[in-house]
Every structure is written in structure tokens, then in C-alpha cells.
Amino acid sequence: MKEAKAQIDALKEELNRWNYQYYVLDAPVATDYDYDRKLRELEQLEAEHPELVTPDSPTQRVGGEAISAFAEVTHEVPLLSLQDVFDGGELTAFDQRVRESAETVRYVAEPKVDGLSVALEYLDGVFVRGATRGDGQVGEDVTENLRTVRSIPMKLTGAPHRLIVRGECYISRERFAKLNDQRELEGEPLFANPRNAAAGSLRQLDPKIAAKRMLDCIIFNIQLSDGPAFETDSQALDYLETLQFRVIPHPVFETLGEVSQWISALGEERERYPFDIDGAVVKLDSLPERELLGSTAKFPRWAVAWKYPPEQKPTKVLDIVVQVGRTGVLTPKAVVEPVRLAGTTVTNATLHNQDFITDKDIRIGDTVIVQKAGEIIPQVVSVELSKRQEGSKPYFLPAVCPVCGAPVERDPDGAAVRCTGAECPAQLMRNLTHFASRDAMDIEGLGPAVVESLVNAGLVKTPADLYRLDAKTVAELDRMGEKSAENLLNVLEKSKQNDLSKLLCAFGIRQVGSKAAKVLARQFGSLDRLMEATEEELTTVDDIGAITAQSIVRWFANPQSQHLIKSLREAGLNFQSTEEKPGEKLKGLTFVLTGTLAQMKRSEAKKLIEQNGGKVSGSVSKKTSYVVAGEAAGSKLTKAQSLGVPILTEGELLNLLNLTD
């Protein structure tokens, strides 16, 4: 037993040292092969002696059990934010403020790493807890995820009894690029930037996922320590280096001029760092002087963060291409001459929409200024008009969808331009998922994954194809089997009898959700009748406005919609509605219900009023026609009285409807 412990300790010591040399010093001494072999040896010994497994063992870095939520951690020393400065004037003003109270002024300057702040806590040299910054006072306990970060030492030698350090967690640019490549392959949404990727990874409830993301951590402060006391921050950071932390570069300068020079140099060189740098932090070096200056509730008075503007470069627009998204929106993209920008080679830039292009008058052949500010795809900032080629023409999005040829239409309430094709292949996946959703045809078992398999197998090209599927083919799909295929076909068969209101909702006509679909089905009774309705006729229906009416008429006029309807009719779908037409007795009247009614629930009274063409509102105004007051009616009744709104008893309401015996 003793022997096993000694063996385990020796292996841990060696592996931790290799780890430090590899991840902190960037100077590997052991080969991956040797590392993996020793790790295996340690794993085997620990398996034989589970009582000897300690949290600081390198075997514990692969990620433990997933949890359901993070616990809160109240920071003993708050993790403050930093006051930003954007120009030389603001930096000088800071220097002057500092010099008013501090006697000897020396500054430490550090790169501002664009990641997430964390506090790491050590007890007798062992990493015991790590937390996110949160709001600076209270963060989240992400200890298990931080254990997977190889540059965070799990065990310190010669450390004080208690030590809390603060650092920045990040994903290196190189890792980030690989991570996004992999996500693209797997069809997962891409991370916008390394910072978002790091944030998402650190807040993973499953540490095994966090482990795969390969986070890194760089330390920039001692929050709390009962170890040696230091006069300056730079000495404290040097000390952390001896404890084998990866520590932020921290040169010290005597004058503001030197600091400014360093800031400019860092700005030029920041592409060469492995992590994103969004600024430079300037801090007073003397710790006693820091005490004297103190902090506001949010920022220390002894430090500022210089923010770099995003890098910009000129390049040429070679072409403008248009993509059609899953929701049918046409998105223009500029294909540009390749240019290096913020560490990556840029070959295209987003143009957002027609308004953006028109606003900046971006044309094919133009020289434009591009910048990257936190997103993957760069932005076009402006056009260099002096370099515009003769004969260039303003750019307009195509009038028909580049994928299916259906006319495009601009959203009445926004800048988006959409394809109107009900059978457009670009929108198929989303159209089918919507078609099957609960408010629409409610086809249980036809979620996004099954839709994807059906589409990828080429079995379904329009929603009508769903009704031509046969059980044998479906059973052969990924993740399906005979039983689930049979179930799906049964549900599909049953859905043919759905009320027209569900089918109308399933069409995905813009502005027509489940509520409008119900109103329309109730009013027109059949699809054929609705298809004949003119815009004027539609606008006379309650709840249907001019924009919705126009959208409906256009949708039915579209050849792709007509083709879809024809195929659905052939498949035998029900085009009729059994939704009852509302009565007219209470047409044009608005009711407010208050208090407890004797003969029915409030919800029943509401239904009754609506069935008779009336409306029910939640609050009393001058426009309220009647307030129906039951037992123990409250403020609504008083308000009705003060506004002179007529008040009905329950019996009087029923009288109005001739429902009393």
C-alpha cells in the first residue's frame, strides 16, 4: 500500500511537471507517447487503489460527472471591472489623477486578454475551487470545468496556506479555428469569436465537453494571500510565476510616454499573440499606493483599460453573391480579394441586406474598407469612392429567388427580403419542421432530426411528399426502425383529417399564425372558399388587417403554393373546417370580466362572449362596452364606475345572449 502511494505520488509529480512544461512554458520535454503511457500507468494504479485518487491528479483533468446547475460563489474579494480609455487625452487625465495622490508612480502594463475572468482558489497548494466573475460580487462555481484547463496548476509547491488568484480564461485563436472547422463539419452553429467560444465552454454543465474545448488560462492578479507580502504588483506576479502559473506579461514603466509607446507597439503586434487582445491594461505598480487610491463600486481608481479600435483594411469587392437562408431570407455577401485581418485571411464580408448596400452604395468592383469587430465574418465599413471604376452600377438584390426562381418579397415591417416559394428547396427543412409542429399539423415523431434524414435521403421535396412515404423505406432511415416508422405513418394518416385551421397554420403564410388560421378557417369554412377571397373581403374579418390580407392573397396566387395545394388535395387531406362561425349578437362589443361569477368560470364566460362575436379585454378603458361584475369585484369595477362604463351582472350578460330560461 505504502509502495503504491509512493509510486502514485511520483507519477503525479512527473506528469504535473510535464504538463507545466508543455502548457505553461510552451517547452515540452516529454513526447505525447511517453505522457500517455505514464498517464495510463497512473490510471491503472488509481483503479487498483481508488482511495488514493486525489483531485489534483492529472487523471482528473478529463472531466467528471455532468451537473444540472452551477452553485453560486460569493467572491471574498470582488472581481472589479476596468475603466476604459479611448485616447491619449483620457490616458493623460488618468495619469494626472494618479499623480495627485501617489508619491512615486510606476506603471505595470499588460495585454488585455479578451476572454472571461475567473478566480482560482488554492488551499495548502491544492486547487479547491474556481469561479466565474459573474457580476463581480457573485459568480458561478465552475471548478470541474477549470480542472480540465491544462495551464491551471492543480497543485502548487511552496504555496501559502490560502491563495486566490485572478486570471482570464480563453480559447487560443488556433484552437478556435479548429473548433469552428469541426462544428461546421458537424453542422453545428459556429461560435462568433474566441471569447464566445470560451464563455460557452466554461459554462458547460458537462465537464467532458469543456475538456474537449481545450481552454487556457493566464493569471494577472493575487486577490488574496496569507503568503509573503509584496510592495509591488510586478513582484507579486513574478512570485506567481515561481509557483508555476502562466502569468500575463507585465513590463514596468516609469513614465506615461513609455507606457504609450508600449501600448502602440502592442497594438501593432497583437496579431502575434495566441489569444485575442482587445486592449492594454495600465495599472499602478505600488500596492500600498493602490490601497490609498481605492476603488469605486465598479472600477479600481489605480488602473485603466486602453481599448484598441478594430483593425481595418482596404480590399476589393470581386462579386456580390446571394444566399437563401432556412427562413427564405436573401442575404447578400461580398466576395473580396483575400486580405489579412485580425489574425485571419478574409475572403468575404457580410452586406446584411439591401438597405445596407444602398446606404453605403456598395458596388461590384469597389474598393471597400473592411473590419472585424467580434464577429467571424467581417463588416464593410465604407466605400473608397475615389477608387470607383467607371461604369459601375448600383447593386440590387435579384427579384426572384436564386434557388427556386419564385418572386421575392420585402417584409412589410423590416429590411429582410424573402423568397415566396412554398416549395423552395432552401427552406424545405424549416418548412417541413413547421408543417409538422404542434400548432400546425401536429405530427408527433416528425422532429428536426427525422425531417433531416428524410430530406437527406431525397424522400421528401415538399410537405405533400410526407403523405407518399411508405413504412419500409422510412424504417431504413437512420435512427428509425419498423415500429417508429409505422407510428409515424399512422400519425401522418390521421393528420389528413385535421381541421383546416391546422393546415392553414402549417402553410407558414407570413402573418398567419395559429390564431389567424383559426379565425380564417372559422370564417370561410373551406380552403376553396378562402382561396377565392379578395383582399377586401379578408379585411372585413375580425383580427385580419390589410397586411395579413395581402400576404394571404399573394400566397395563394403563387404557382408553388398552388402546386402544393394540388398535391395535398391528391394526397387526400381535409380542406374543410368544423370550427364554428361566431355569432353576431355581441359583434363590436368589448367586455371586461371581474370578480367571481356564480354559474360559470371566467374562462367559460370569455368563450361564450367570443363565440357570439364579442371581445374580452383584461383592463377597463373608455372603450370598454360593458364590465361584467361577479362577487367580490375589485378595482376594475371601481374604474368602470368612474369612467361611466355600464356594469352588468352575470344574469344580465346571459339575458343579452337570450340564454336565460
Alpha helices, H only, 232-346: 233-242, 256-269, 287-293
112 catalytic, yes or no? yes
Euclidean distance between CA atoms 636 and 139, whole angstroms: 44
Kindly tell me which residue out of 95, 168, 233, 423 binds ligand AMP, with binding defined by CB under 6 A: 168
Shortest distance in whole angstroms from residue 134 CB to ligand AMP: 11
Which one of the spans 110-118, 139-147, 435-443, 593-601 is the region binding ligand AMP (CB under 6 A)?
110-118
Letters for 304-323 (x = contact with ligand AMP by CB under 6 A, - = none) are -x------------------
Euclidean distance between CA atoms 173 and 111, whole angstroms: 15
- Single out the residue of 300, 241, 337, 298 nearest to residue 97, CA to CA: 300
Kindly tell me which residue out of 11, 42, 73, 113 binds ligand AMP, with binding defined by CB under 6 A: 113
Taking a C-beta distance cutoff of 8 angstroms, is the pair 171, 194 a contact? yes
Kindly tell me which residue out of 56, 95, 110, 650 binds ligand AMP, with binding defined by CB under 6 A: 110
The count of other CB atoms within 10 Å of the CB of residue 259 is: 22
Q: Give whichever of 11 and 197 is closer to ligand AMP, judged by the CB atom.
A: 197
Element (H, E) at 419: strand 417-419
Taking a C-beta distance cutoff of 8 angstroms, is the pair 330, 419 a contact? yes
Q: Give whichever of 83 and 453 is closer to ligand AMP, judged by the CB atom.
A: 83
Taking a C-beta distance cutoff of 8 angstroms, is the pair 442, 342 a contact? no
Shortest distance in whole angstroms from residue 259 CB to ligand AMP: 14
Q: Give whichever of 70 and 220 is closer to ligand AMP, judged by the CB atom.
A: 220
Euclidean distance between CA atoms 336 and 3, whole angstroms: 65
Between the alpha carbon of residue 168 and those of residues 279, 440, 656, the distances in Å are: 13, 47, 70
Which one of the spans 91-99, 111-119, 328-336, 610-618 is the region binding ligand AMP (CB under 6 A)?
111-119
- Location of C-alpha cell 367586455: 591
Q: Which residue is nearest to ligand AMP (CB)?
A: 117
Taking a C-beta distance cutoff of 8 angstroms, is the pair 66, 35 a contact? no
Q: Give whichever of 117 and 433 is closer to ligand AMP, judged by the CB atom.
A: 117
The count of other CB atoms within 10 Å of the CB of residue 110 is: 26
Q: Give whichever of 112 and 502 is closer to ligand AMP, judged by the CB atom.
A: 112
Q: In the numeric block, which cell numbers belong to residue 366?
A: 469597389
Euclidean distance between CA atoms 325 and 347, whole angstroms: 20
Rule CB under 6 A: which of 6-45 touch ligand AMP? none
Kindly tell me which residue out of 109, 281, 597, 620 binds ligand AMP, with binding defined by CB under 6 A: 281
Euclidean distance between CA atoms 121 and 129, whole angstroms: 5
Which one of the spans 42-50, 108-116, 308-316, 516-524 is the region binding ligand AMP (CB under 6 A)?
108-116
Shortest distance in whole angstroms from residue 624 CB to ligand AMP: 50
Q: Give whichever of 12 and 372 is closer to ligand AMP, judged by the CB atom.
A: 372
Which one of the spans 109-117, 202-210, 265-273, 499-507 is the region binding ligand AMP (CB under 6 A)?
109-117
Kindly tell me which residue out of 102, 248, 263, 505 binds ligand AMP, with binding defined by CB under 6 A: 248
Counting contacts by CB under 6 A, is residue 233 touching ligand AMP?
Answer: no
**Per-residue DSSP letters for 99-168?**
HHH-SS--EEEEEEESSEEEEEEEETTEEEEEEE-TTSSEEEB-HHHHHT-TTS-SB-SS--SEEEEEEE
Counting contacts by CB under 6 A, is residue 171 touching ligand AMP?
Answer: no
Rule CB under 6 A: which of 42-81 touch ligand AMP? 81
Counting contacts by CB under 6 A, is residue 290 touching ligand AMP?
Answer: no
**3-state helix, strand and coil shares in percent for the chain, rounded to the nearest 5:** 40, 20, 40
Q: Give whichever of 113 and 592 is closer to ligand AMP, judged by the CB atom.
A: 113
Interhelix angle 256-269/88-101, rounded to 10 degrees, is: 140
Euclidean distance between CA atoms 464 and 94, whole angstroms: 68
Counting contacts by CB under 6 A, is residue 446 touching ligand AMP?
Answer: no
Surface-to-core class of residue 359, CB atoms within 10 Å of its CB (0-12 exposed, 13-18 middle, 19+ buried): exposed
Letters for 329-358 (x = contact with ligand AMP by CB under 6 A, - = none) are ------------------------------
Q: Give whichever of 285 and 423 is closer to ligand AMP, judged by the CB atom.
A: 285
Counting contacts by CB under 6 A, is residue 101 touching ligand AMP?
Answer: no
Q: Give whichever of 152 and 474 is closer to ligand AMP, judged by the CB atom.
A: 152
Shortest distance in whole angstroms from residue 114 CB to ligand AMP: 7
Euclidean distance between CA atoms 195 and 99, whole angstroms: 35
Catalytic residue among 2, 12, 38, 112: 112
| Strand 303-307 versus strand 84-85 pairing type | parallel
Kindly tell me which residue out of 70, 176, 191, 220 binds ligand AMP, with binding defined by CB under 6 A: 220
Letters for 120-159 (x = contact with ligand AMP by CB under 6 A, - = none) are -------------x--------------------------
Between the alpha carbon of residue 606 and those of residues 268, 517, 541, 599, 614, the distances in Å are: 68, 20, 20, 13, 9
Shortest distance in whole angstroms from residue 379 CB to ligand AMP: 21
Shortest distance in whole angstroms from residue 112 CB to ligand AMP: 4
Q: Give whichever of 132 and 548 is closer to ligand AMP, judged by the CB atom.
A: 132
Euclidean distance between CA atoms 251 and 108, whole angstroms: 6
The C-alpha R_g of the chain, in whole angstroms, comes to: 34
Euclidean distance between CA atoms 273 and 287, whole angstroms: 28
Q: Give whichever of 198 and 370 is closer to ligand AMP, judged by the CB atom.
A: 198
Euclidean distance between CA atoms 15 and 9, whole angstroms: 10
Shortest distance in whole angstroms from residue 154 CB to ligand AMP: 22
Taking a C-beta distance cutoff of 8 angstroms, is the pair 302, 82 a contact? no
Q: Which spans of this chain sit near ligand AMP (rule: CB under 6 A)?
A: 81-82, 110, 112-113, 117, 133, 168, 220, 248, 281, 305
- Known catalytic residues are 112
